Structure formats: C-alpha cells, structure tokens
C-alpha cells in the first residue's frame, strides 16, 4: 500500500513540476527544463551597481535526462547565457526530480 501511495505522490509531483518548470539549462549536449530559484540581486555599495549572488537551485525531473545519466558535482551547466559549476546534487530514488545547486 505504501508503495502505491509513493507512486501516486510522485506522479502528482511530476504533473505539478511540468506545469511550473519553464527554465532551460544546458548540460553536456542536453537541454533540460526545470524550475530555477536563487540568484537574487544585491546592491554593491561601492559602485552602486546590482550584482547577482551567483548561486542558484534547480529542480529538474529525472525524465529530462537521457538514459538516466545525471549531472555530477563540479560539472559545468549553462543557465541564462552563463556557465556555472554544479556545487551539489540531491537524487532521491523515490522522488521524480533531482535538485541541483550551481554557482559561478
């Protein structure tokens, strides 16, 4: 019974994720779509310019990756025209998505 509940929950999460995921990232030769957060802009008091903090978190469905091969820590990933390095990755077997943190 618990396995069926987990599958139903994973299916529901995947449906919700598909509706809100609209950020494209490029990893190796693949373009994947997910939901990216972070990268808040802060003000530089010395120059008066805005500077992004450079750290992002992305939720990406596992099905976005070809052959079940996922990114690894330290690999490059491109987002919004900038190349970042993957700082951490969370892959839970029961979850339909992975969580990446990447930074400049």
Mean pLDDT value of segment 4-30:
80
pLDDT at 76: 98
The answer to whether the CB of 60 falls within 8 A of the CB of 32 is: yes
Number of domains in the chain: 1
- Average per-residue pLDDT in the chain? 84
CA distances (Å), origin 100, targets 49, 57, 71, 91: 28, 6, 9, 9
Q: Which residues contact residue 38 at a Cβ distance below 8 angstroms, ignoring those fewer than 6 apart?
A: 53, 55, 56, 57
Among 102, 36, 35, CA closest to 75 = 102
Domain with 12 in it: 2-103
The token pair at 23 is 């950020």
pLDDT at 43: 60
pLDDT at 60: 94
Model confidence pLDDT, tens digit, residues 27-78: 999 999 999 998 766 665 566 665 556 789 999 999 999 998 999 999 999 9
Is the pLDDT score of 97 beyond 70? yes
């Amino acid at each position: 019974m618990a396995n069926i509940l987990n599958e139903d929950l994973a299916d529901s999460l995947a449906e919700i994720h598909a509706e809100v995921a609209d950020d494209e990232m490029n990893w190796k030769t693949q373009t994947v779509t997910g939901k990216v957060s972070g990268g808040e802009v802060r003000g530089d008091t010395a120059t008066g310019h805005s500077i992004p903090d450079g750290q992002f978190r992305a939720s990406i469905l596992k099905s976005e990756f070809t052959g079940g091969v996922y990114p690894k820590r330290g690999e490059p990933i491109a987002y919004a025209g900038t190349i970042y390095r993957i700082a951490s990755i969370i892959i839970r077997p029961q979850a339909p998505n992975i969580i990446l943190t990447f930074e400049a």
